[in-house]
Structure formats: C-alpha cells, structure tokens
C-alpha cells in the first residue's frame, strides 16, 4: 500500500472524528446507544418533563411514520443520534432514528409543507425541516421556528408544534438514562 493512500485514509478518519466530536451530548438511555461506537455520547432517548420519550409510532422505521411522545420504557427503540447538521450553523442538529443504537437513514422532520403540525420520519437530506437547535431545554426547528411538544396521557401522542419559549413540561427535553 502506498504512503499517500495511507495518509489519505488517516486524514479522512481524523476529519470524520472531528465532525462527530463537535456535537457531543450524553446520557444514552439504552444499552444499544451505550455501545454505539463512534456515536457513543451522541445517541440517546429524549424525554420531556412529563417523562414521555420521543418514539416512532408502532416502531416502524419508514418515511412518513409519525414521531410520538410515549411513556418512557426500557424498550430499545426510543433512540436518536443527534449530530451537527452538515453545513448548518453551529449547534443546529439533526436527529437520526437509531433503534437499539443502530442508525437508520431516517431523520426527525417537521414537514411543514404537508400542512400537518406534527413531526415524522423522513429520509435524511440535511434540509432545514430536519434541523433543530437546543435552546433553553427546547428543540426548535430551523424552518418552522416551533418547539417540539408532546401531550400528557403517555399514549401514542403525535409530537406537535408549540411556540418557542413556552418552556413547560410538554416542550422541555433532556437525554434520559432512566430506562437503562
């Protein structure tokens, strides 16, 4: 193997490591996230002040599938990997659905163009519909400017829009380790 090829591989590895390191978050809730290799520290379960976890309805990983607030459990399907989004401003993340800590090609999206004020999975494409900034405990969508909110009964509630700055149990999210 020639030295130029080895140098190129090493440079690519360092660059990839830097991209991942720039988005550190912690508190993985499942064993799958705790053992997620390069994504360790970026993978976990988000819960709101009502102890509802971001989850995918019926645990079906497909484009258009609703993202819901569901009672936090020990299930391994509530994980998302939160990484810096491509060439977006610093701090703007995308959430890749990662059941059991295994990334899919699907991202949390706010498909405002559909007219629905709910969130769903869509193929990751780096759009503003998939960009979120964490501000005062709320995930604010880059396109709509709305915060992610979930209702109170702990049953398959669609995640909905809320005014940014609402700062209540419905809209305030953190990484959870309660289901570990």
Contact 140, 48 (CB under 8 A): no
Q: What residue segments make up the domains of the chain, in order of their start?
A: 25-176
Give the three-state DSSP class for 91. Answer: coil
Residue 63 scores a pLDDT above 50: yes
**pLDDT-derived band of residue 113, with 50, 70 and 90 as boundaries?**
low
For residue 36, what pLDDT is reported?
A: 65
Closest by CA to 36, choosing from 88, 69, 83, is 83
Residue 97 scores a pLDDT above 70: yes
**pLDDT-derived band of residue 7, with 50, 70 and 90 as boundaries?**
very low
Q: Angle 21-86-45 (CA atoms, 0-180°, nearest 5)?
A: 60
Residues of the chain with pLDDT > 90, as a percent, come to: 28
**pLDDT-derived band of residue 180, with 50, 70 and 90 as boundaries?**
very low
| Contacts of 101 by beta carbon, 8 Å cutoff, 6+ apart | 28, 30, 31, 32, 33, 34, 35, 36, 39, 43, 76, 79
Which residues are 161's β-sheet partners?
148
Calpha distance 51→178 (Å, rounded): 9
Calpha distance 99→151 (Å, rounded): 22
What predicted TM-score, i.e. pTM, was given to this entire model?
0.77
Q: Which two tokens stand for residue 136?
A: 């005062």
pLDDT tens-digit readout, 117-150 = 688 999 999 999 999 999 999 999 998 888 888 8
Question: CATH for 25-176, among 3.40.50.720, 3.40.1160.10, 3.90.950.20, 2.80.10.50?
Answer: 2.80.10.50
By CB atoms closer than 10 A (0-12, 13-18, 19+), residue 54 is buried
**pLDDT-derived band of residue 176, with 50, 70 and 90 as boundaries?**
confident
- Out of 21-35, 48-62, 139-153, the most confident range is 48-62
State the first-to-last Cα distance of the chain, in angstroms, to the nearest integer.
Answer: 44
pLDDT tens-digit readout, 71-91 = 877 666 788 999 999 989 999
| Contacts of 127 by beta carbon, 8 Å cutoff, 6+ apart | 109, 143
């Amino acid at each position: 193997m020639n030295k130029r090829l080895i140098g190129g591989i090493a440079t690519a590895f360092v660059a990839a490591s830097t991209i991942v390191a720039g988005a550190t978050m912690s508190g993985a809730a499942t064993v799958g996230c705790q053992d997620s290799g390069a994504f360790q520290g970026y993978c976990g379960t988000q819960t709101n002040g009502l102890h509802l976890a971001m989850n995918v309805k019926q645990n079906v990983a497909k484009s258009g599938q609703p993202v819901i607030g569901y009672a936090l459990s020990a299930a391994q399907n509530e994980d998302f990997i939160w990484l810096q989004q491509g060439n977006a401003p610093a701090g703007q993340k995308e959430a890749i659905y990662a059941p059991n800590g295994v990334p899919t090609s699907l991202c949390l999206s706010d498909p405002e163009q559909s007219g629905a004020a709910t969130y769903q999975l869509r193929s990751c494409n780096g759009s503003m519909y998939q960009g979120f900034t964490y501000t005062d405990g709320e995930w604010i969508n880059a396109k709509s400017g709305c915060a992610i909110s979930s209702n109170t009964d702990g049953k398959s509630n669609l995640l909905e829009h809320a005014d940014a700055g609402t700062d209540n149990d419905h809209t305030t999210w953190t990484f959870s380790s309660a289901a570990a």
